[in-house]
Amino acid sequence: VKAGGQPGSLAAWKDAEVNALSGGFFSATLRTITSSYLRPTHPGFIAFFRECAPYAAAAIAGEVSAADLTDLVNRLYRETRQPEGSIA
């Protein structure tokens, strides 16, 4: 905060000095931040998302069934959660 950045650590958001330096910003927004949704950040998620997007568009256009899209998304997501080098 002193250098102009925004802390990523929850401890920093709860720190009285950091909060004072920010004019109460952190204490005023902490509830919103802790209650909000954050997309998954595990390795492989972005590739999963990119791979699914065209199929989602095709499903919206009626070119892929909802069941097929669901199966594909579930399979691809499971693959992103496999430890490196393991066999699903």
Record the tokens describing residue 25, joined without a space: 């910003």
Q: Where are the alpha helices (DSSP H) in the chain?
A: 10-13, 16-21, 25-35, 45-60, 66-80
Please state the pTM of the whole predicted model: 0.53
Say what the pLDDT of residue 83 is.
67
Residues composing the chain? 88
Say what the pLDDT of residue 87 is.
54
- 34: buried, middle or exposed (CB in 10 Å: 19+, 13-18, 0-12)? exposed
pLDDT tens per residue, the chain (88 residues)?
777 777 778 888 899 999 999 899 999 999 998 898 888 888 889 999 999 999 999 999 999 999 999 999 999 999 888 766 555 4
**Separation CA 51–CA 49 (nearest Å):** 5
Say what the pLDDT of residue 64 is.
96
